[in-house]
Structure 1
Amino acid sequence: MHAERIKAVHLVEEADWPPFTNQKLGKAESGLSFDLMQAIFSRLDIAVDISLYPQKRMLLNVYEGNFDGVTMLSKNTEREKYLAFSDPVMAKLGQVYYRADRAHKLEWQTYEDLRGLTIGITRGHNYGAAFEDARQRGGFNVVEVTRVEQSFYLLAAGRVDAVFCIEMTANHILQSNRFNRQIVPAETPYYEGSYHIALSRKSAAGELMADINATIAAMQASGDIDAILAKYR
C-alpha cells in the first residue's frame, strides 16, 4: 500500500494531559498534540482524529489494534514490541517535584538517594528503565494515580513526598492551581529523552512512517514545530 492511498488516520491520546490535551474524554479538539498532528498530517493530505482515554486504556487500545497509533509517546522496550516509533518530534524532560517547605532540598543522584520516600506517578507512564529497576528493588514506595494532576494534589496534601512528571505538564498544572510556588523541581531530572508518533504494527498506517519522518524533519528545519511548541511553554 502506498502512503497516498491512506486518506485518514485514527490516533489515541492520553485524556486530561495538559498541555497536550485539556479534555477529559471524547475526541481532542485542541491542545499541543492536536496542533502537532494537524500540522504534520495536513502536509501529507491525510485527515487525522484523536480519541482520548486514560493512559493505560489508551495503550491497551492501540495494543489490540483498535487505532492506528498514538500521538506523542516515549519509547521503551515493551512499547516497541507493538508500536513503530517515528523520529523524535520534541524533547521530553522528566523532573522530580517536591514541596518547597520541605525541611531540606530534595537532592538526589541515584535512586538509592530516594530510599524510604513515597513517590507519586501516573499509571501507564514511561519513567525509564532505571526507575522501573529501582521500583522492583523496593527502595521507595509508589502511589499510582490515573491523572497527572491528582499526584500534585497528593503532594500538596503531604500524602506523597515527591512526584515524577514531565516538565511541560508540571508547569501547566502548577501555574493553574492554588499550590503554585509551593511545589518545586529537584535539580536532577529522572528522564531526558523524546516524544514520537507511534504507529501500531497491526495498522496499514505503518506505511506512512517514511513520509511522517520526512515531514517532521522539514518542519523542524523550517521552525514550524518550534513555533507550535512555543505556544504551550
Structure 2
Amino acid sequence: MKLLSCVLALVLASTAHAGRFVNITIDDASPSVIYAQTPYVRCTPTSSCDPSWVAQLYNGTSSITSGAVIVPFQGTAVYVYLGVEGTSYFSIDGSIRSSATGQDYMQNGLAFGEWGLANTNHVLAILPSNFTGEIIQLDYIVYTHELPGKNVGAIVGWVVGGLAFMAVLSWLGLLLVRRRRLRRISMRGIRLRDDWTERPSLQLDSGSLPQKPKIAL
C-alpha cells in the first residue's frame, strides 16, 4: 500500500508540472500595441492629465483615441482594461466576440475577456463604433500564455523506473538480512560445540557385544 501511494503521489506531481500558465501585461504605451490613429491624449505622470487620475492607471499611462487598436498575442486568454464613451467592439482573429458600452471614457475597468483559446498566435482588435464619435481610453491588456512543460510520458517512465530500482534495493536488503540471520545461527552452533568441555564421549565395549557364533566344520 505504501508503494502504491508513492506511485500515485509521484505521478500526480509529475503531471502537475507538465505545463504552467503565466499572465503577461501589455501597457498601452507598449510597442506591441498598434494604433490606427495617433491617440488624442497620452496620459503620463508628466502630462497635463489629472495626477490623481494618473496614479490609478497601470504604469501611470493611458491612451485616448477614436481609432482601432490592434494587439497581437500568443496565449489561451486575453483581458482588456479600458474606459469607453459610446460603444466599442472586440474581435479575435477577425471574429467579433463582444462589445462594451459606456458613458464616460474616464471610467476604466475590465471591458472584455476571452478564454479557452488555443495556445497559438492571435490578433485582438478593439474597434470603436465611429457613428457617434466613440472614444476609448486604453489602460492595459493582459493575456495568458502556457509555457511548454516536460513530457509527461517521460516523467512517468522515470518515476516507474525509479520505483522499480527501489524495489530491487529493498529485495537485496531483505536477502542480506536473511543471510546475516542464518550466519548468526550457524555461528551459535559452532560456539556451543567448542565450549562444551564435559560432553560425554561414546565408547564401545567390544566385550559386551554379542559374538558371532563359530560354525564347526
Q: Which TM-score bucket, shorter chain as reference?
A: under 0.3
State the TM-score, normalizing by the size of structure 2: 0.21
TM-score (norm 1): 0.20
Structure having greater relative contact order (Cα 8 Å, sep ≥ 6): 1
* Larger CA Rg, structure 1 vs 2: 2
- Higher helix fraction: Structure 1 or Structure 2? 1
